[in-house]
Amino acid sequence: MFPIGEQPRILKDLAGINEDVQELAISGKTKNIELLGELKIRNLWIFTVNQTQFDKIMEYVNPEILYIDEMRVENLSKLQKMSNLRRLYLGWNPKNTDLWDLSYNNNLSYLLIQGFSKLEDLSPIKDGKKLEGLFLGGAIMKTLNAKTLDPIGDLVELNELTLMNIKVKDRSLEPLMNLKRLKKLNVSNQFPMEEYAKLSVVLQNTECEFFKPYVRMESTEGKDIMMIGRKRPFLNSKTDAEKIRKYEQEFKTVQEEFRDGMK
């Protein structure tokens, strides 16, 4: 999630700013923004920016860690100039549809994209070859609608991946089978059961809550078992024991058949 609340106080004016400051929070309306060019900011927080404000700020900075929230920025190509970037957090942007060319960000090891309501094509992400961590998610009331996860399959250095409140048109987790270094996968329970079962066979060293037939949860209306897989039911561990065993066997059968097919 975007780390809102962890930022320093948002400055309204950079006049008289301490030249030794290394972390800063500004908004699109902060005055004397050109003074950023005289600073060596390592961590920069930006809030509430439009395209013109974003473009101007990017001309003066090259931080190692960049946080931007509440954006109305259609063209993100200015991020290609950020050669020092190691970690990038982008939150809430209802304008952008095509990201930017990540091949320019050679030092980028972590990327968070959240609340990009018009983003469908994840293709540019495939060029983030140094990425070790990736978070893709929708906003609280709006899912991120992606065509496919294929571009993520090219990120072979990934060791942590989070996909939250995201709807994938082809409903496939197969591209993730290429992520042999993945240590942790956080994903919502919205893909077909078969996708989780097959992926669990390939990524045996990856921690994922859904690499098993069901998960126990706090009881809600008498239901304390969530079966893994899209449209699978919530059940009661006591009264629905037979149904649970049935679904559990289906999950294991898919695993076994897929494992046999790999031999």
Q: What is the pLDDT of residues 161-197, one digit of tens each?
A: 999 999 999 999 999 999 999 999 999 999 999 999 9
Per the domain annotation, does 197 fall within a domain?
A: no
How many whole angstroms from its chain centre is CA 191? Answer: 17
- The pLDDT value recorded for residue 141 is 82
Task: Decide: 1 and 114 in contact? Cβ < 8 Å.
Answer: yes
Position 1 pLDDT exceeds 80 = no
Q: Find the CATH number of the domain harbouring 28.
A: 3.80.10.10
Per the domain annotation, does 87 fall within a domain?
A: yes
- The pLDDT value recorded for residue 58 is 98
The pTM score is 0.95
259 and 176 share one domain:
no
Per the domain annotation, does 203 fall within a domain?
A: no
Measured CA to CA, the distance from residue 239 to residue 218 in angstroms comes to: 16
149 and 68 share one domain:
yes
Query: Which of 153, 188, 223 is the C-terminal boundary of a domain?
Result: 188
Quickly list DSSP for the chain: ---TT-S-PEEEE-TT--TT--EEEEEEEEE-GGGGGGS--SEEEEEEEEHHHHHHHHTT---SEEEEEEEE-S--GGGGG-TT-SEEEEE--SS-SS---GGG-TT--EEEEE--TT----GGGGG-TT-SEEEEE-BTTB-EEES-SGGGGG-TT-SEEEEESEEETT---GGGGG-TT--EEEE-S-S-HHHHHHHHHH-TT-B-TTSSSEEEEEEETTEEEEESSTTPPEE-TTTTHHHHHHHHHHHHHHHHHHHHHH-
The fraction of the chain above a pLDDT of 90, given in percent, is 95
Query: Which of 188, 223, 245 is the C-terminal boundary of a domain?
Result: 188
Q: Which domain holds residue 219?
A: 209-263
Query: Which of 133, 153, 188 is the C-terminal boundary of a domain?
Result: 188
- The pLDDT value recorded for residue 261 is 92
- The pLDDT value recorded for residue 5 is 77
- Our CA angle for 72, 8, 48, nearest 5°, is 10
172 and 214 share one domain:
no
Per the domain annotation, does 5 fall within a domain?
A: no
Tokens of 103: 């091949």
126 and 41 share one domain:
yes
Position 236 pLDDT exceeds 90 = yes
What are the pLDDT digits (tens) for 2-56? 887 788 999 999 999 999 999 999 999 999 999 999 999 999 999 999 999 999 9
63 and 154 share one domain:
yes
- The pLDDT value recorded for residue 94 is 95
